[in-house]
Chains A and B, each alone.
Chain A
Amino acid sequence: MASDAISIPAPQVREKPWVDLLHEWVTTVDHKRLGILYIVYALVFLLLGGVEALIIRIQLMHSHNDFVSPQVFNRMFTMHGTTMIFFVVMPVLFGFANYLVPLMIGARDMAFPRLNAFSFWLSAFGGLLLYFSFVGGSGLYGAGNAPDIGWWAYAPLTARAFSPGHSSDYWTLALLVSGFGSIGTAINIIATILCLRCPGMKLNRMPLQVWLYLVMGSMVLIAITPLSAAQIMLLIDRYLGGHFFDAQAGGSAVLWMHFFWIFGHPEVYVLVIPAFGFLSEIIPVFSRKPIFGYPVMVAASIAIGFVSLSVWAHHMFTVGMNSYANSFFAITTMAVGVPTGIKIFNWIGTMWGGRIHFKVPMLFCIGFLFQFLIAGLTGIIQAAAPVDWQLSLSYFVVAHFHYVIVGGILFALFGAFYYWYPKITGRMLSETLGKWHFWLFLIGFHLTFDVMHIPGLLGMPRRIYTYEPDRGWDTLNLIISIGAFIQAIAILVFVWNLISSYFNGAKAGNDPWDAWTLEWSTSSPPPAYNFATVPVVASRRPLWDLKHPEDPDSQYE
Chain B
Amino acid sequence: MSKEVKNSIVRIATLSAVFFFCYIATAAAAETSATGTNIFAPQSTPARSILHLSLFVLSITGLIFVVVVTLIIVSISKFRATSANAHSEPAQVYGSTQIELAWTIIPVLIVIVLFLATARVIHAIQDAPEPPGAVEVTVIGHQYWWEFRYPKLGIVTANELHIPVSDPTHPTPTFLRLLSADTDHSFWVPELAGKTDLIPNHPNRMWMDPQRTGVFLGQCAQYCGTQHGKMLLRVSVDSQQDFAAWVRSQQQPAVQDASAAAGRQIFEHTACINCHTVSGTAADGRFGPDLTHLMSRATIAAGAAENTPQNLRLWIEDPNAIKPGSLMPAMKLSDANLDEVVKYMETLH
Contacts and interface: CB of A to CB of B under 8 A. Distances in A.
Q: Is A bound to B? A: yes
Given A288-B89, A457-B39, A320 B29 contact: no
Contacts, number: 296
Interface stretch (B30-38, B130-138, B151-159, B261-269): B30-38
Interface in A338-367: 338, 341-342, 344-346, 348-349, 351-358, 366
Contacts of A346: 95, 100
A392 B80 contact: no
A352 B75 contact: yes
B122 A353 contact: no
Given A70-B325, A334-B115, A377 B61 contact: yes
B59 to A, nearest CB: 11
A293 B95 contact: yes
Contact of B61 (A380, A460, A466, A548): A380
Given A348-B71, A384-B57, A390 B119 contact: no
A218 B193 CA distance: 40
A341 B103 contact: yes
Contact of B111 (A338, A348, A548): A338
A74 B71 contact: no
Given A290-B92, A320-B202, A465 B229 contact: yes
Interface string B137-169: 000000100000000000000000000000000
Interface stretch (B218-226, B245-253, B307-315, B337-345): B218-226
A119 interface: no
A342 B104 contact: yes
B182 interface: yes
A386 B183 contact: no
A344 B104 CA distance: 11
A462 B230 CA distance: 12
Contacts of B127: 323
A113 interface: no
Interface residues of B, number: 99
A365 to B, nearest CB: 10
A354 to B, nearest CB: 5
B135 to A, nearest CB: 20
B35 A471 contact: yes
A510 interface: no
A400 to B, nearest CB: 12
State the 8 A-B residue pairs at the shortest beta-carbon distance, nearest first.
A389-B194, A459-B37, A464-B229, A247-B200, A320-B204, A293-B95, A377-B61, A355-B81
Given A156-B184, A296-B95, 11 more contacts: A157-B224, A254-B199, A293-B94, A323-B123, A323-B126, A353-B91, A355-B86, A385-B122, A390-B39, A458-B29, A459-B217
10 contacts: A74-B226, A352-B71, A354-B79, A355-B89, A384-B53, A390-B39, A461-B186, A464-B228, A465-B229, A472-B29
Interface of B: 15, 18-19, 22, 25-26, 29, 32-33, 35, 37-40, 47, 49-50, 53-54, 57-58, 61, 64-65, 68-69, 71-72, 75-76, 79-81, 85-86, 88-96, 99-100, 103-104, 107-108, 111, 114-115, 117-119, 121-123, 125-127, 143, 178, 182-184, 186, 188, 190, 193-197, 199-202, 204-205, 217-230, 232, 303, 324-325
